[in-house]
Amino acid sequence: MDRAIVLTYHNIGRAPRGARLPGLYVSPAVFHLQMRYLKAAGFTIVALAEIVNFINGNSSVKRPVALTFDDGFADFSDNAWPVLKSLGFPVTVFIVTQRVGGENLWDCEYLNVRKRLLDWDSIVRLKDEGVSFASHTMTHPSLSSLTGQPLHEEIFGSKAALEERLNAPVDYFCYPYGDFNQETVESVQSAGFKAAFTTRKGAVFQGTDPFEINRISVKSTTGPLAFAYKLHLYNGSSRRQNK
Ligand SMILES: [Zn+2]
């Protein structure tokens, strides 16, 4: 297989009334079906380390798919993890470290909804149960608007906070809003991350830049056929989608 897929989820639950971008919510029933589909269709659900192995040409996994959850919402614990745990699927949740235990202050006004975020106790419990956590900065800024020390703090600070709480290395980073520039990438590299994930849509190929990894977002508007289509389009067609 010549490509891998990284899926992006945000909320597993029902969108509150009046919420902008209700597409960010996938219902628990649909999520369950999607996960069972991945298993039935013969995809191998892998951890992010295996995606990096794949990029480096060191993976023999058949049809690799990685699952990522952005922002660390509390509904991950309630609605996603029980399903993933029962299927034995690895998963990575990108955490906004200074907002842990709080709410989505970075976009609650725009979205017209306040969403509860995982607290540290839950994060540590989930880590012990097998969930991987990774960095999504300290406060979820647009990183290309920052430079120098404030940029450095968002990136290095989030890594340090997670590593202290989890007592384990944190190797992966996700750019808030998919926004980055060359200084961002250099800062992420110098902080010691091994790879970073974007919101750019597409598959992952051998030789993909590990600090600009494409993903495919799953939304409430992604019906079962569209879900299957996305996976097979990006995981099986001859069309290259690496930039
Ligand atoms: Zn985010």
Cα-based distances in Å from 102 to 29, 36, 72, 94 = 26, 32, 10, 15
The answer as to whether 241 is a domain residue is no
At residue 167, does pLDDT exceed 70? yes
Tokens encoding 70: 């952005």
The answer as to whether 159 is a domain residue is yes
As for how many domains the chain has, the answer is: 1
What does the pLDDT average to over 65-92? 98
Report the separation in Å between the CA atom of 237 and the middle of ligand 1, taken as the mean of its atom positions. Answer: 29
Give the whole-angstrom CA distance, residue 217 versus residue 26: 11
Task: Report percent pLDDT > 90 for the chain.
Answer: 81
Give the whole-angstrom CA distance, residue 201 versus residue 210: 15
The answer as to whether 243 is a domain residue is no
The CATH number of residue 213's host domain is: 3.20.20.370
Give the whole-angstrom CA distance, residue 172 versus residue 215: 14
Report the separation in Å between the CA atom of 106 and the middle of ligand 1, taken as the mean of its atom positions. Answer: 9
**pLDDT-derived band of residue 235, with 50, 70 and 90 as boundaries?**
low
At residue 57, does pLDDT exceed 60? yes
On whether the pTM is more than 0.75, the answer is: yes
Report the separation in Å between the CA atom of 29 and the middle of ligand 1, taken as the mean of its atom positions. Answer: 23
Range of the domain at 135: 3-236
At residue 237, does pLDDT exceed 50? no
At residue 215, does pLDDT exceed 60? yes
The answer as to whether 108 is a domain residue is yes
**pLDDT-derived band of residue 228, with 50, 70 and 90 as boundaries?**
confident
Strands (E), 186-233: 195-201, 204-205, 213-217
